[in-house]
């Protein structure tokens, strides 16, 4: 079973995502960047679901650090955010995210499908 790290500071949303994905994947959760990097180092996730609005450093900064580090650059990242203007989507993809999903426009089945597709690449 693939290990997914969800980086999401909203506990309610994180709980919803976890509930929908836990039958398909092994789920770990981080609510801030420092916690996320610790869990990435300790647990080596197969994929990261990344929110952009986080306390401390934002999701774009986390994505940059992941892609700049040889130890983590191959981990597929899917951005899952409420931010969805064209510039943000293009920036996320250009920085190395496999896909960019907008929370308000996505169904849980679509998240599962995006994860499965990203893990196949």
H helices present in the chain, as ranges: 11-21, 33-43, 59-68, 86-94, 108-120
pLDDT tens-digit series, residues 63-91? 999 999 999 999 999 999 998 899 999 99
**Mean pLDDT, the chain, whole residue set:** 94
Q: What is the pLDDT of residue 109?
A: 87
Q: How crowded is the C-beta side of 118, counted as CA atoms within 13 Å? A: 27
pTM above 0.75, yes or no: yes
Domain ranges across the chain: 1-46
């Amino acid at each position: 079973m693939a290990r997914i790290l969800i980086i999401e500071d909203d506990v309610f949303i994180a709980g919803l995502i976890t509930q929908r994905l836990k039958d398909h994947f092994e789920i770990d959760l981080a609510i801030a960047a420092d916690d996320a990097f610790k869990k990435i180092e300790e647990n080596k996730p197969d994929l990261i679901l990344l929110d952009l609005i986080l306390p401390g450093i934002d999701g774009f900064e986390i994505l940059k650090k992941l892609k700049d580090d040889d130890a983590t650059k191959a981990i597929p990242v899917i951005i899952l955010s409420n931010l969805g203007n064209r510039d943000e989507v293009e920036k996320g993809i250009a920085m190395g995210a496999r896909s960019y999903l907008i929370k308000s426009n996505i169904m849980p089945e679509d998240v599962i499908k995006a994860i499965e597709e990203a893990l196949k690449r």
